Amino acid sequence: MPLFTIDASIAGKVTLAIFQAAELTASGESPALEQDLATLLAGVRATYAEPAAAVERFQPARALYRALGLDPTKNRPSSEALLRRVIKGRDLYRINTIVDTCNLCSMDFALPIGLYDTTAVRWPATLRPGREGEAYQGLGKDHVNVEGRYTLVDQEGPFGNPSSDSFRTRIREDSTHCTFAIFAPGDYPAARLADHLAVAGERMIRYNGGKLLHQETIA
Looking at residue 1, its pLDDT comes to 61
> What CA–CA distances, in Å, run from 189 to 139, 164, 185?
31, 24, 9
Beginning with the edge strand found earlier in the chain, give each strand of the sheet holding 14-22 in spatial order.
113-117, 178-185, 14-22, 211-218
Residue 63 has a pLDDT of 98
Alpha-carbon distances of 7 from 74, 75, 163, rounded to whole Å? 24, 22, 19
| pLDDT at 187 (0 to 100) | 97
What pLDDT score was predicted for residue 16? 98
Q: Which residues contact 189 (CB under 8 A, 6 or more apart)?
A: none
E strand spans, the chain: 4-6, 14-22, 113-117, 125-129, 135-136, 144-145, 150-154, 157-160, 178-185, 211-218
pLDDT of 78: 97
Is there a contact between 19 and 215 (Cβ–Cβ < 8 Å)?
yes
pLDDT beneath 50, residues of the chain: none
Q: For 73-109, what is the HEC assignment?
A: CCCCCHHHHHHHHHHCCCCCCCCCHHHHHHHHHHHHH
pLDDT at residue 142, as a whole number? 75
Contact 122, 75 (CB under 8 A): no
Predicted pLDDT at 28: 86
| Cβ–Cβ under 8 Å, residues 15 and 162 | no
3: how many CB neighbours lie within 10 A of its CB?
16
Q: What is the pLDDT of residue 141?
A: 66
Q: Which pTM does this prediction carry? A: 0.96
Residue 203: burial class (beta carbons within 10 Å; 0-12, 13-18, 19+): buried
Domains of the chain: residue spans and CATH: 4-218 (3.50.40.10)
Q: Distance between CA 122 and CA 85 in Å, rounded?
A: 33
Strand pairing of 4-6 and 125-129?
A: parallel
Give tens-digit pLDDT for 93-138. Answer: 899 999 999 999 999 999 999 999 999 999 999 999 999 999 999 9
Q: What residues pair up with 214 in beta bridges, in sequence order?
A: 20
